[in-house]
Amino acid sequence: MARKKRNQAEEAVNPLAENVHIQGAGVVKDEAIVDTLKDNFMPYAMSVILSRAIPEIDGFKPSHRKLLYTMYNMGLLQGGTVKSANIVGRTMQLNPHGDASIYETMIRLSRGNESLLYPYVESKGNFGKAYSRNMMYAASRYTEAKLAPISKELFEDINKNTVDFVDNYDNTMKEPTLLPVSFPSILCNVTTGIAVGMASSIASFNLGELCETTIALIKNPSHDVSETLLAPDFIGGGYIIYNKDELDKIYETGRGSVKVRAKYTYDKKYNCIDITEIPPTTTSEAIIDKIVELVKTNKVRELSDIRDETDLKGLRITLDLKRGTDADKLMQKLYKMTPLEDNFSCNFNVLINGVPKVLGVRDILNAWIEFRLNCVRRRVQFTYDKKAERLHLLHGLEKILLDIDKAIKIVRETEAEADVVPNLMIGFGIDKVQAEYVAEIKLRHLNREYIVKRIQDIEDLTKELQELEGILASKNKQKKIIVKELGEVEKKYSGERKSQILYEVESFNESVEVEVPDYPVTLFITKEGYLNKIRTANLRMSGEQKVKEGDEVIKTFECSNKDELLVFTDKYQVYKAKVDDFADSKASMLGTYVASKLEMEPDEKTVFICVIREYKGYMIFAFENGKVAKVDINAYETKTNRKKLIKAYSNKNPLVAVEYIEEDTELVLCSTSGRMLILNTGAISSKTTKDTIGVSVMTQKKKAKLESMHFYQEGEFEKAWRFRTKNLPAAGAVPGPADNTAQLTF
């Protein structure tokens, strides 16, 4: 009974109890996907496009505008810096999207971060660097900021009705929909944004060139933009590779790409290259990682070290060169293979009156001119209205001042204070506004000097209003104002180009083989797969070759540093490498582990290494079944830089031995039956197929198999004719007591 009462009480309190039904809950409703996208996705997409990712004609996204306007209201155009955390907190009154995103916006707008060609925020403290992904900015409680001097041009006359204001998100204050910028800020700084279904990527241009171009367009709408606007200009400097066709395409359509190249200097004293300016699309870490990768894959052999020496003085990547390296040729190669030369993709997508449009430079500047004309008209109209209001008051005062005694008499004889204004209106024929103004005049102003000055003010205001009327009636006069202001901006803030323009560029030719230093070396190959390369000139000064415990040197080659290596493995593969790929070493060092250097498979082992100077001669493969394959060495030559070839030899029978011969010679085949056979390789036809199974050379008795092969040496056998045969295959002969069987050792 008690439990039943408790359940009834819970149902009464809980609106989700079983006896309470929510209308439509649990009902599966069929709806077209088009309707779902229209009702749910489209509003989000439009919000991102219009209120987040795409800049407007004043050059700013809403997040930028809200931050800068907050700093303006804080009085940060003058005075010292304040804590960034304070600015971020105040900005949240307009932008309630979290302090982290607001602070990141400030970081990008700051001078210290070096993201913008003309930064709007002066910074104090660690604001990170745009050219480095590892140099992170400090927390907002540690840094300080204020508005940069150029920001004055963003807010000039903002309080003179030049732009519209709207309520903020909670209707507690007003914010501008646009800033009345007095220069084309939309093209002064790099702006990128990714919206839904569209994106924007705007390059930055030199302010001086931009102002000159805008002035020229105002004076002559058919002006050729490319005559005054040479090319984009980036804060990171570097070189702009001039391509007139591509630039004209950007100027006309707003789409295209600009090729930017890093700037470097060569230090002859230390034989190194210092890279000090890089493209805006990359970072120093990305460049270093790519160069290191090229060195590891032996595509770049001219470097001995690479360091990031960036400090308070700025960016610097140092490349230490090997002796004899041509720095300019190396940089041409690196431009081709690394982000040291990169494309800045242009997509000039701008919001014009709430509509996203991809416009060329000419169209953007024309749109900005129309926007600025509207700002100037509104400013002049605001000034005209204020002066007209002032003149209206002075006209009323003028009537009073002509008969001050009468005015005083009216005031003195009026019993109620509320009747003073009506009586003055009746007595002098003025309106209420004029009468209110007159009634508030101080007694000390009723003197001759004051009267003369006010009459003079009437004359001056009349002339000024006539001038303002002329401006409002003439578009040409409005344009002259814009031209004058642009000239002042250019004079104050324009500077030299950061990015130098290259009109003639030498490109890297991949078909030209990089010259490898040529000097004699000696290679030591050990049983466990180590290779040690020592300059032959230094060999006399070296001691005994060092090897791991249990290891031993099985082969020694005297060759050139320009020669190539073929490394055959037990996986029927051959790896190709250059002797130059292996660093010069000393006898006191173990050398390089070949399997690791050539990136072999984990369980792959080396079975044979040979040195190739020219691709002439043959590879000889001997198999357990007594067959021998003679493969033309040209089969291993490749036109590309492939490092690994599969099916390097036949996998049909176990391999016994491998030899490389430059010309036909005699080899000795040894069987487990004790028999030996002298083979003249000229008796075997060569094949171009690497994995050929070969031809039968030495017949084997039951359970016997070929076990070794070596070069024949004169005098090895007492009666060599016994081991030679005219026909193949042959069984060979058993060596006698007088034969030198020590040669059996392989």
* Residue in the block written with tokens 């001038």: 467
CB 57 within 8 A of CB 371: yes
Q: Token pair for residue 294? A: 């090229």
Question: Exposed, middle or buried by CB within 10 Å (0-12, 13-18, 19+), for 639?
Answer: exposed
* Residue in the block written with tokens 């037990």: 570
> How far, in Å, CA of 117 to CA of 648, rounded?
57
What sign does the CA torsion over 287, 291, 292, 296 have? positive
Q: DSSP secondary structure string, 146-213?
A: EE-GGGHHHHTTTTTTSS-EEE-TTSSSEEESS---SS-GGGTS-EEEE-SS-EEEE----HHHHHHH
Q: Token pair for residue 403? A: 């008969």
> How far, in Å, CA of 129 to CA of 140, rounded?
15
CB 61 within 8 A of CB 192: no
CB 418 within 8 A of CB 448: no
> Between vectors from CA 725 to CA 719 and to CA 729, what angle results, nearest 5°?
135
262-280 per-residue burial string, b: 16 or more CB within 10 A, e: under 16: bbbebeeeebbbbbbbbbb
> How far, in Å, CA of 157 to CA of 176, rounded?
12
* Residue in the block written with tokens 């077209």: 32
Nearest to 63, CA basis, from 157, 204, 175: 175
- Residue 142 annotated to the active site: yes
β-strand pairing of 500-502 with 239-241: parallel
Strands (DSSP E) contained in 328-483 are 341-347, 349-352, 355-358
Distance of CA 686 to the CA centre of its chain: 54
H helix intervals, 33-79? 33-36, 42-48, 62-73
Preceding amide of 221 cis, omega within 30: no
CB 175 within 8 A of CB 166: yes
The residues, any chain, with a CB within 8 Å of residue 599's CB and separated by 6 or more, are 643
> How far, in Å, CA of 235 to CA of 225, rounded?
22
Q: Which residue out of 44, 72, 131, 142 is catalytically annotated?
A: 142
Please report, for residues 576, 628, 635, the alpha-carbon distance to residue 646 in angstroms, rounded to integers and kept in the order given.
11, 19, 12
610, amino acid identity: C
Strands (DSSP E) contained in 627-687 are 627-632, 644-645, 655-661, 666-671, 676-680
The residues, any chain, with a CB within 8 Å of residue 395's CB and separated by 6 or more, are 434, 458
The residues, any chain, with a CB within 8 Å of residue 438's CB and separated by 6 or more, are 396, 397, 400, 407, 424, 430
Active-site annotation, residues: 142
